[in-house]
A and B are shown apart, each in its own frame.
Chain A
Protein backbone atom coordinates (compact mmCIF):
# COMPACT_ATOMS: atom_id res chain seq x y z
CA UNK A 1 0.00 0.00 0.00
CA UNK A 2 1.84 3.01 -1.30
CA UNK A 3 -0.35 5.56 0.48
CA UNK A 4 0.68 4.15 3.84
CA UNK A 5 4.22 5.44 3.54
CA UNK A 6 5.32 8.87 4.64
CA UNK A 7 7.29 10.71 2.01
CA UNK A 8 9.48 13.46 3.38
CA UNK A 9 9.10 16.48 1.09
CA UNK A 10 12.29 17.33 -0.79
CA UNK A 11 11.84 21.08 -1.18
CA UNK A 12 13.69 24.16 0.04
CA UNK A 13 13.47 23.20 3.71
CA UNK A 14 13.51 26.55 5.54
CA UNK A 15 11.00 28.35 3.34
CA UNK A 16 8.82 25.24 3.28
CA UNK A 17 8.84 24.87 7.08
CA UNK A 18 7.87 28.50 7.66
CA UNK A 19 5.33 28.39 4.86
CA UNK A 20 3.51 25.33 6.16
CA UNK A 21 3.33 26.43 9.82
CA UNK A 22 2.25 29.92 8.79
CA UNK A 23 -0.48 28.67 6.44
CA UNK A 24 -1.85 26.20 8.98
CA UNK A 25 -1.86 29.01 11.55
CA UNK A 26 -3.71 31.41 9.26
CA UNK A 27 -6.33 28.83 8.27
CA UNK A 28 -6.79 27.85 11.94
CA UNK A 29 -7.29 31.47 12.99
CA UNK A 30 -9.84 32.01 10.26
CA UNK A 31 -11.75 28.91 11.34
CA UNK A 32 -11.75 29.97 15.00
CA UNK A 33 -12.83 33.53 14.23
CA UNK A 34 -15.69 32.33 12.02
CA UNK A 35 -16.99 29.89 14.64
CA UNK A 36 -16.65 32.56 17.33
CA UNK A 37 -18.68 35.03 15.26
CA UNK A 38 -21.38 32.44 14.55
CA UNK A 39 -21.73 31.18 18.13
CA UNK A 40 -21.33 34.55 19.92
CA UNK A 41 -24.97 35.64 19.65
CA UNK A 42 -26.12 32.15 20.71
CA UNK A 43 -23.85 32.14 23.76
CA UNK A 44 -24.95 35.68 24.71
CA UNK A 45 -28.60 34.61 24.34
CA UNK A 46 -27.95 31.57 26.57
CA UNK A 47 -26.40 33.82 29.25
CA UNK A 48 -29.28 36.30 29.13
CA UNK A 49 -31.88 33.51 29.26
CA UNK A 50 -30.13 31.91 32.21
CA UNK A 51 -29.97 35.18 34.14
CA UNK A 52 -33.55 36.03 33.21
CA UNK A 53 -34.85 32.70 34.51
CA UNK A 54 -32.84 33.14 37.72
CA UNK A 55 -34.31 36.61 38.29
CA UNK A 56 -37.87 35.40 37.73
CA UNK A 57 -37.18 32.54 40.13
CA UNK A 58 -35.93 34.68 43.03
CA UNK A 59 -38.69 37.25 42.49
CA UNK A 60 -41.74 35.00 42.32
CA UNK A 61 -44.65 36.75 40.61
CA UNK A 62 -42.57 38.87 38.28
CA UNK A 63 -42.82 38.43 34.52
CA UNK A 64 -40.57 41.22 33.24
CA UNK A 65 -37.10 42.27 34.25
CA UNK A 66 -34.94 45.32 33.74
CA UNK A 67 -31.29 46.03 34.44
CA UNK A 68 -30.29 49.06 36.51
CA UNK A 69 -26.78 50.34 37.03
CA UNK A 70 -25.79 52.02 40.27
CA UNK A 71 -23.91 55.29 40.16
CA UNK A 72 -21.76 55.35 43.32
CA UNK A 73 -21.32 59.15 43.20
CA UNK A 74 -24.95 60.26 42.96
CA UNK A 75 -26.14 57.01 44.63
CA UNK A 76 -28.88 56.70 42.02
CA UNK A 77 -30.02 53.67 40.07
CA UNK A 78 -30.52 54.22 36.33
CA UNK A 79 -32.13 51.85 33.87
CA UNK A 80 -29.66 50.63 31.30
CA UNK A 81 -29.87 47.89 28.69
CA UNK A 82 -26.12 48.00 28.12
CA UNK A 83 -24.61 48.70 31.56
CA UNK A 84 -21.17 50.20 31.92
CA UNK A 85 -18.89 47.28 32.80
CA UNK A 86 -17.23 49.30 35.61
CA UNK A 87 -20.54 49.87 37.40
CA UNK A 88 -22.43 47.49 39.63
CA UNK A 89 -25.88 46.47 38.50
CA UNK A 90 -29.08 45.20 40.09
CA UNK A 91 -32.12 43.74 38.36
CA UNK A 92 -35.71 44.75 38.94
CA UNK A 93 -38.65 42.38 38.44
CA UNK A 94 -42.11 43.64 37.45
CA UNK A 95 -45.43 41.80 37.35
CA UNK A 96 -47.91 41.79 34.44
CA UNK A 97 -49.35 45.15 35.51
CA UNK A 98 -45.92 46.78 35.63
CA UNK A 99 -45.78 46.90 39.44
CA UNK A 100 -42.40 46.42 41.07
CA UNK A 101 -42.16 42.95 42.63
CA UNK A 102 -38.64 43.33 43.92
CA UNK A 103 -34.97 43.77 43.22
CA UNK A 104 -32.61 40.92 42.39
CA UNK A 105 -28.99 41.41 43.42
CA UNK A 106 -25.98 39.30 42.55
CA UNK A 107 -23.26 38.57 45.08
CA UNK A 108 -20.37 36.16 45.39
CA UNK A 109 -18.06 34.79 48.04
CA UNK A 110 -15.75 31.96 48.88
CA UNK A 111 -17.41 28.59 49.44
CA UNK A 112 -15.78 25.31 50.45
CA UNK A 113 -13.97 24.64 47.17
CA UNK A 114 -14.31 27.72 45.03
CA UNK A 115 -16.23 30.94 44.58
CA UNK A 116 -20.02 30.72 44.86
CA UNK A 117 -22.06 33.17 42.77
CA UNK A 118 -25.52 33.83 44.08
CA UNK A 119 -28.59 35.84 43.08
CA UNK A 120 -31.13 36.89 45.70
CA UNK A 121 -34.44 38.67 45.51
CA UNK A 122 -35.46 41.53 47.82
CA UNK A 123 -39.07 42.54 48.26
CA UNK A 124 -39.52 46.20 49.36
CA UNK A 125 -43.11 45.46 50.42
CA UNK A 126 -42.07 42.73 52.85
CA UNK A 127 -38.65 44.27 53.56
CA UNK A 128 -37.34 40.73 53.28
CA UNK A 129 -35.27 38.48 51.05
CA UNK A 130 -37.78 36.28 49.25
CA UNK A 131 -35.63 33.86 47.29
CA UNK A 132 -32.09 32.83 46.38
CA UNK A 133 -30.59 30.98 43.45
CA UNK A 134 -27.01 29.74 43.18
CA UNK A 135 -25.69 30.78 39.76
CA UNK A 136 -22.34 29.06 39.93
CA UNK A 137 -20.63 26.81 42.46
CA UNK A 138 -18.20 23.93 42.70
CA UNK A 139 -19.37 22.69 46.09
CA UNK A 140 -18.97 18.99 46.88
CA UNK A 141 -21.68 16.96 45.15
CA UNK A 142 -23.99 15.38 47.71
CA UNK A 143 -22.67 17.49 50.60
CA UNK A 144 -22.02 21.19 49.96
CA UNK A 145 -24.24 21.38 46.92
CA UNK A 146 -27.26 20.71 49.13
CA UNK A 147 -27.37 24.50 49.61
CA UNK A 148 -29.03 24.44 46.18
CA UNK A 149 -31.47 21.60 46.81
CA UNK A 150 -32.16 21.17 50.55
CA UNK A 151 -35.73 22.35 51.05
CA UNK A 152 -35.35 23.05 54.76
CA UNK A 153 -32.35 25.26 54.03
CA UNK A 154 -34.02 27.05 51.13
CA UNK A 155 -37.07 27.76 53.30
CA UNK A 156 -34.77 30.11 55.26
CA UNK A 157 -34.97 32.45 52.28
CA UNK A 158 -38.71 32.52 51.73
CA UNK A 159 -38.96 35.52 54.02
CA UNK A 160 -35.63 36.49 55.54
CA UNK A 161 -36.05 39.72 57.49
CA UNK A 162 -33.79 42.59 56.32
CA UNK A 163 -35.84 45.45 57.81
CA UNK A 164 -34.06 48.81 58.05
CA UNK A 165 -33.60 50.62 61.35
CA UNK A 166 -35.44 53.83 62.19
CA UNK A 167 -33.11 56.28 60.44
CA UNK A 168 -32.98 53.92 57.42
CA UNK A 169 -29.17 53.90 57.30
CA UNK A 170 -28.59 50.22 58.02
CA UNK A 171 -30.35 46.94 58.70
CA UNK A 172 -31.97 46.77 62.10
CA UNK A 173 -30.62 43.21 62.45
CA UNK A 174 -27.66 41.85 60.52
CA UNK A 175 -28.33 38.44 58.94
CA UNK A 176 -27.09 35.74 61.31
CA UNK A 177 -25.99 32.18 60.73
CA UNK A 178 -27.07 29.68 63.41
CA UNK A 179 -26.61 25.96 63.88
CA UNK A 180 -29.22 23.68 62.29
CA UNK A 181 -32.58 23.88 64.05
CA UNK A 182 -31.72 26.91 66.21
CA UNK A 183 -33.40 29.54 64.03
CA UNK A 184 -35.52 31.65 66.37
CA UNK A 185 -35.62 35.05 64.70
CA UNK A 186 -36.70 35.93 61.13
CA UNK A 187 -33.23 37.31 60.33
CA UNK A 188 -31.45 34.09 61.23
CA UNK A 189 -30.39 31.34 58.80
CA UNK A 190 -30.38 27.68 59.83
CA UNK A 191 -27.29 25.83 58.64
CA UNK A 192 -27.16 22.33 57.13
CA UNK A 193 -25.50 19.47 59.00
CA UNK A 194 -22.74 18.13 56.76
CA UNK A 195 -22.64 21.32 54.70
CA UNK A 196 -21.77 23.79 57.45
CA UNK A 197 -19.10 25.65 55.49
CA UNK A 198 -21.17 26.02 52.32
CA UNK A 199 -24.34 27.03 54.13
CA UNK A 200 -22.44 29.51 56.29
CA UNK A 201 -20.68 30.93 53.20
CA UNK A 202 -24.04 31.82 51.70
CA UNK A 203 -25.19 33.42 54.95
CA UNK A 204 -22.02 35.54 55.09
CA UNK A 205 -22.38 36.60 51.45
CA UNK A 206 -25.98 37.61 52.06
CA UNK A 207 -25.15 39.47 55.26
CA UNK A 208 -22.47 41.58 53.56
CA UNK A 209 -24.38 42.18 50.36
CA UNK A 210 -27.67 43.00 52.10
CA UNK A 211 -25.97 45.39 54.51
CA UNK A 212 -24.49 47.23 51.53
CA UNK A 213 -27.40 47.21 49.06
CA UNK A 214 -30.69 47.18 50.96
CA UNK A 215 -30.30 50.73 52.39
CA UNK A 216 -29.45 52.07 48.90
CA UNK A 217 -32.32 50.24 47.24
CA UNK A 218 -34.85 51.22 49.91
CA UNK A 219 -33.76 54.88 49.76
CA UNK A 220 -34.08 54.98 45.95
CA UNK A 221 -37.19 52.91 45.37
CA UNK A 222 -38.51 55.72 43.14
CA UNK A 223 -35.72 54.90 40.65
CA UNK A 224 -37.43 51.60 39.96
CA UNK A 225 -41.04 52.68 40.22
CA UNK A 226 -40.59 55.22 37.44
CA UNK A 227 -41.19 52.23 35.19
CA UNK A 228 -44.92 52.42 35.88
CA UNK A 229 -45.28 56.15 35.29
CA UNK A 230 -44.11 55.78 31.69
CA UNK A 231 -47.01 53.43 31.03
CA UNK A 232 -50.16 55.59 31.06
CA UNK A 233 -52.53 52.70 30.31
CA UNK A 234 -51.57 51.08 33.58
CA UNK A 235 -52.19 54.27 35.54
CA UNK A 236 -55.58 54.68 33.91
CA UNK A 237 -56.34 51.09 34.81
CA UNK A 238 -55.56 51.67 38.46
CA UNK A 239 -58.33 54.22 38.94
Chain B
Protein backbone atom coordinates (compact mmCIF):
# COMPACT_ATOMS: atom_id res chain seq x y z
CA UNK B 1 0.00 0.00 0.00
CA UNK B 2 2.73 2.41 0.96
CA UNK B 3 4.48 1.76 -2.34
CA UNK B 4 1.31 2.72 -4.24
CA UNK B 5 0.93 5.85 -2.14
CA UNK B 6 4.53 6.78 -2.72
CA UNK B 7 4.05 6.23 -6.46
CA UNK B 8 0.99 8.44 -6.47
CA UNK B 9 2.76 11.25 -4.64
CA UNK B 10 5.75 11.09 -6.93
CA UNK B 11 3.48 11.00 -10.02
CA UNK B 12 1.90 14.21 -8.80
CA UNK B 13 5.05 16.03 -7.67
CA UNK B 14 6.93 14.97 -10.78
CA UNK B 15 5.03 17.48 -12.94
CA UNK B 16 4.79 20.23 -10.35
CA UNK B 17 8.49 20.40 -9.64
CA UNK B 18 10.99 17.76 -10.78
CA UNK B 19 9.83 17.62 -14.40
CA UNK B 20 8.11 21.01 -14.53
CA UNK B 21 6.84 21.34 -18.13
CA UNK B 22 7.98 24.95 -18.50
CA UNK B 23 11.22 25.18 -16.54
CA UNK B 24 12.61 21.65 -16.86
CA UNK B 25 11.07 20.05 -19.94
CA UNK B 26 10.71 23.39 -21.78
CA UNK B 27 7.56 22.12 -23.52
CA UNK B 28 4.67 24.06 -25.03
CA UNK B 29 6.70 27.23 -25.51
CA UNK B 30 4.23 28.72 -28.00
CA UNK B 31 1.54 29.56 -25.39
CA UNK B 32 4.22 30.11 -22.72
CA UNK B 33 5.70 33.00 -24.68
CA UNK B 34 2.60 34.27 -26.43
CA UNK B 35 -0.15 34.65 -23.83
CA UNK B 36 1.84 35.44 -20.70
CA UNK B 37 1.77 39.21 -21.16
CA UNK B 38 -0.59 39.52 -18.19
CA UNK B 39 -1.11 37.38 -15.10
CA UNK B 40 -4.81 36.84 -15.78
CA UNK B 41 -4.14 35.58 -19.32
CA UNK B 42 -1.45 33.27 -17.98
CA UNK B 43 -3.75 31.88 -15.30
CA UNK B 44 -6.63 31.30 -17.72
CA UNK B 45 -4.35 29.61 -20.26
CA UNK B 46 -2.77 27.46 -17.53
CA UNK B 47 -6.13 26.32 -16.16
CA UNK B 48 -7.52 25.64 -19.64
CA UNK B 49 -4.46 23.53 -20.50
CA UNK B 50 -4.60 21.72 -17.15
CA UNK B 51 -8.26 20.87 -17.69
CA UNK B 52 -7.64 19.51 -21.19
CA UNK B 53 -4.62 17.59 -19.91
CA UNK B 54 -6.59 16.01 -17.05
CA UNK B 55 -9.59 15.03 -19.17
CA UNK B 56 -7.55 13.68 -22.08
CA UNK B 57 -5.24 11.73 -19.77
CA UNK B 58 -8.22 10.13 -18.00
CA UNK B 59 -9.96 9.19 -21.26
CA UNK B 60 -6.79 7.99 -22.96
CA UNK B 61 -5.89 5.92 -19.93
CA UNK B 62 -9.32 4.31 -19.65
CA UNK B 63 -9.26 3.45 -23.36
CA UNK B 64 -5.67 2.19 -23.30
CA UNK B 65 -6.62 -1.48 -23.73
CA UNK B 66 -9.14 -0.74 -26.49
CA UNK B 67 -7.27 1.56 -28.85
CA UNK B 68 -5.18 -0.30 -31.45
CA UNK B 69 -1.53 0.67 -31.57
CA UNK B 70 -1.64 1.76 -35.23
CA UNK B 71 -4.22 4.51 -34.70
CA UNK B 72 -3.37 5.59 -31.17
CA UNK B 73 -2.04 9.04 -32.11
CA UNK B 74 -5.12 9.79 -34.24
CA UNK B 75 -7.39 8.75 -31.40
CA UNK B 76 -5.43 10.80 -28.85
CA UNK B 77 -5.60 13.91 -31.02
CA UNK B 78 -9.32 13.38 -31.55
CA UNK B 79 -9.89 13.16 -27.79
CA UNK B 80 -7.68 16.19 -27.08
CA UNK B 81 -9.35 18.26 -29.82
CA UNK B 82 -12.78 17.48 -28.39
CA UNK B 83 -11.88 18.80 -24.95
CA UNK B 84 -10.15 21.86 -26.41
CA UNK B 85 -13.28 22.73 -28.40
CA UNK B 86 -15.37 22.35 -25.26
CA UNK B 87 -13.00 24.62 -23.30
CA UNK B 88 -13.15 27.15 -26.15
CA UNK B 89 -16.96 27.39 -25.92
CA UNK B 90 -16.97 27.45 -22.13
CA UNK B 91 -14.45 30.32 -21.93
CA UNK B 92 -16.49 32.32 -24.47
CA UNK B 93 -19.58 31.68 -22.33
CA UNK B 94 -17.80 32.81 -19.15
CA UNK B 95 -16.10 35.94 -20.46
CA UNK B 96 -16.00 37.28 -23.99
CA UNK B 97 -13.10 39.62 -23.27
CA UNK B 98 -10.97 36.82 -21.81
CA UNK B 99 -11.79 34.72 -24.87
CA UNK B 100 -10.69 37.59 -27.11
CA UNK B 101 -7.40 38.20 -25.31
CA UNK B 102 -6.45 34.52 -25.47
CA UNK B 103 -7.35 34.58 -29.15
CA UNK B 104 -6.22 31.67 -31.28
CA UNK B 105 -4.15 30.17 -28.47
CA UNK B 106 -7.08 28.28 -26.97
CA UNK B 107 -7.56 26.30 -30.18
CA UNK B 108 -3.81 25.79 -30.33
CA UNK B 109 -3.88 23.82 -27.06
CA UNK B 110 -4.63 20.88 -29.40
CA UNK B 111 -1.07 20.96 -30.70
CA UNK B 112 0.58 21.67 -27.34
CA UNK B 113 3.18 18.88 -27.31
CA UNK B 114 2.84 18.64 -23.52
CA UNK B 115 -0.65 17.15 -23.81
CA UNK B 116 0.04 14.63 -26.56
CA UNK B 117 3.33 13.86 -24.83
CA UNK B 118 1.64 12.93 -21.55
CA UNK B 119 -1.02 10.90 -23.38
CA UNK B 120 1.60 8.92 -25.29
CA UNK B 121 4.30 8.67 -22.63
CA UNK B 122 2.19 8.19 -19.51
CA UNK B 123 -1.58 7.82 -19.83
CA UNK B 124 -1.47 5.11 -22.50
CA UNK B 125 0.66 2.95 -20.21
CA UNK B 126 -0.69 3.61 -16.71
CA UNK B 127 -3.87 3.29 -14.65
CA UNK B 128 -6.57 5.95 -14.65
CA UNK B 129 -5.69 7.10 -11.12
CA UNK B 130 -2.00 7.49 -11.83
CA UNK B 131 -2.71 9.22 -15.17
CA UNK B 132 -5.06 11.66 -13.47
CA UNK B 133 -2.44 12.45 -10.82
CA UNK B 134 0.23 12.85 -13.48
CA UNK B 135 -2.05 15.23 -15.43
CA UNK B 136 -2.88 17.24 -12.31
CA UNK B 137 0.80 17.58 -11.46
CA UNK B 138 1.79 18.57 -14.99
CA UNK B 139 -1.19 20.92 -15.30
CA UNK B 140 -0.40 22.68 -12.04
CA UNK B 141 3.29 22.81 -12.98
CA UNK B 142 2.41 24.35 -16.34
CA UNK B 143 0.08 26.89 -14.68
CA UNK B 144 2.80 27.84 -12.17
CA UNK B 145 5.24 28.27 -15.05
CA UNK B 146 2.85 30.50 -17.01
CA UNK B 147 2.02 32.54 -13.89
CA UNK B 148 5.71 33.00 -13.12
CA UNK B 149 6.14 34.56 -16.55
CA UNK B 150 2.85 36.43 -16.68
CA UNK B 151 3.24 37.89 -13.20
CA UNK B 152 6.73 39.23 -13.81
CA UNK B 153 5.86 40.57 -17.26
CA UNK B 154 2.72 42.36 -16.09
CA UNK B 155 4.42 43.73 -12.98
CA UNK B 156 7.42 45.19 -14.79
CA UNK B 157 5.68 45.89 -18.08
CA UNK B 158 2.60 47.61 -16.72
CA UNK B 159 3.13 48.14 -12.97
CA UNK B 160 0.06 46.01 -12.18
CA UNK B 161 -0.70 42.47 -11.04
CA UNK B 162 -4.02 40.83 -12.07
CA UNK B 163 -5.04 44.32 -13.23
CA UNK B 164 -4.55 45.92 -9.81
CA UNK B 165 -1.95 48.70 -9.60
CA UNK B 166 1.03 47.60 -7.50
CA UNK B 167 4.02 49.74 -8.28
CA UNK B 168 2.31 53.13 -8.15
CA UNK B 169 2.28 56.10 -10.50
CA UNK B 170 5.93 57.07 -10.28
CA UNK B 171 6.94 53.73 -11.81
CA UNK B 172 7.76 54.01 -15.51
CA UNK B 173 6.53 50.72 -17.09
CA UNK B 174 8.98 48.76 -19.24
CA UNK B 175 6.56 48.33 -22.12
CA UNK B 176 8.91 45.92 -23.88
CA UNK B 177 8.16 43.32 -21.20
CA UNK B 178 4.54 43.13 -22.39
CA UNK B 179 5.69 42.71 -25.99
CA UNK B 180 6.98 39.43 -27.48
CA UNK B 181 10.67 40.10 -26.61
CA UNK B 182 9.67 40.42 -22.94
CA UNK B 183 8.49 36.80 -23.04
CA UNK B 184 11.95 35.65 -24.12
CA UNK B 185 13.73 37.85 -21.54
CA UNK B 186 11.56 36.60 -18.69
CA UNK B 187 11.77 32.95 -19.71
CA UNK B 188 15.56 33.24 -20.01
CA UNK B 189 15.80 34.76 -16.54
CA UNK B 190 13.70 31.99 -14.98
CA UNK B 191 15.63 29.24 -16.79
CA UNK B 192 18.86 30.82 -15.60
CA UNK B 193 17.62 30.72 -12.01
CA UNK B 194 16.42 27.11 -12.23
CA UNK B 195 19.60 25.86 -13.90
CA UNK B 196 21.70 27.68 -11.33
CA UNK B 197 19.73 25.97 -8.54
CA UNK B 198 20.22 22.61 -10.24
CA UNK B 199 23.96 23.07 -10.70
CA UNK B 200 24.33 24.17 -7.10
CA UNK B 201 22.39 21.16 -5.82
CA UNK B 202 24.43 18.71 -7.90
CA UNK B 203 27.66 20.28 -6.69
CA UNK B 204 26.51 20.00 -3.08
CA UNK B 205 25.52 16.35 -3.51
CA UNK B 206 28.91 15.57 -5.01
CA UNK B 207 30.63 17.30 -2.15
CA UNK B 208 28.70 15.15 0.34
CA UNK B 209 29.48 11.88 -1.39
The chain A residues found within 8 Å of chain B, CB to CB, are: 1, 3-9, 13, 16-17, 20-21, 24-25, 28, 31-32, 35-36, 39, 42-43, 46-47, 50, 136, 140-143
The chain B residues found within 8 Å of chain A, CB to CB, are: 37, 63-71, 74-75, 78-79, 81-82, 85-86, 89-90, 92-93, 95-97, 100, 124-127, 130, 157-158, 173, 175, 178-179
Asked whether B93 lies within 8 Å of A20 as measured between CB atoms, the reply is no
Asked whether B125 lies within 8 Å of A5 as measured between CB atoms, the reply is yes
Residues of A within 8 A of B127 (CB): 1, 3-4
State the 7 A-B residue pairs at the shortest beta-carbon distance, nearest first: A142-B175, A42-B93, A28-B82, A39-B93, A39-B89, A141-B178, A46-B96
Tell me how far the C-beta of B198 lies from the nearest C-beta in chain A, rounded to whole angstroms. Answer: 29
Asked whether B92 lies within 8 Å of A39 as measured between CB atoms, the reply is yes
Bound complex: CA of A179 vs CA of B127, how far in Å? 66
Q: A16-B68, A50-B96 are in contact. List 8 more A-B contacts (CB 8 A).
A: A3-B127, A6-B64, A8-B68, A21-B71, A21-B75, A24-B67, A24-B78, A143-B175
Asked whether B82 lies within 8 Å of A6 as measured between CB atoms, the reply is no
Other-chain residue from A32, A136, A140, A142 in contact with B85 (beta carbon distance below 8 A): A32
Q: Contacts A21-B75, A28-B82, A142-B158; is A43 near B92 (CB within 8 Å)?
A: yes
Asked whether B86 lies within 8 Å of A35 as measured between CB atoms, the reply is yes
Asked whether B100 lies within 8 Å of A13 as measured between CB atoms, the reply is no
Bound complex: CA of A16 vs CA of B70, how far in Å? 11
Asked whether A141 lies within 8 Å of B89 as measured between CB atoms, the reply is no
Bound complex: CA of A141 vs CA of B179, how far in Å? 7
Q: Contacts A9-B68, A32-B86; is A20 near B179 (CB within 8 Å)?
A: no
Asked whether A28 lies within 8 Å of B92 as measured between CB atoms, the reply is no
Bound complex: CA of A35 vs CA of B97, how far in Å? 20
Tell me how far the C-beta of B99 lies from the nearest C-beta in chain A, rounded to whole angstroms. Answer: 9
Asked whether B89 lies within 8 Å of A36 as measured between CB atoms, the reply is yes
Residues of B within 8 A of A141 (CB): 37, 157-158, 175, 178-179
Asked whether B90 lies within 8 Å of A4 as measured between CB atoms, the reply is no
Tell me how far the C-beta of A164 lies from the nearest C-beta in chain B, rounded to whole angstroms. Answer: 36
Residues of A within 8 A of B65 (CB): 6-7, 9
Tell me how far the C-beta of B39 lies from the nearest C-beta in chain A, rounded to whole angstroms. Answer: 14
Asked whether B125 lies within 8 Å of A21 as measured between CB atoms, the reply is no
Q: Contacts A7-B65, A21-B78, A43-B96; is A142 near B157 (CB within 8 Å)?
A: yes
Residue of B nearest to A5 (CB): B125
Bound complex: CA of A21 vs CA of B67, how far in Å? 8
Asked whether B66 lies within 8 Å of A9 as measured between CB atoms, the reply is yes
Bound complex: CA of A31 vs CA of B179, how far in Å? 37
Residues of A within 8 A of B97 (CB): 50
Residue of B nearest to A138 (CB): B103
Task: Return 30 A-B CB contacts under 8 Å, by A number.
Answer: A3-B126, A4-B125, A6-B64, A6-B65, A7-B65, A13-B68, A16-B68, A20-B66, A20-B71, A20-B75, A21-B74, A21-B75, A24-B63, A24-B79, A28-B79, A28-B81, A28-B82, A31-B86, A32-B86, A35-B85, A43-B93, A46-B93, A136-B100, A141-B175, A142-B157, A142-B173, A142-B175, A142-B178, A142-B179, A143-B175
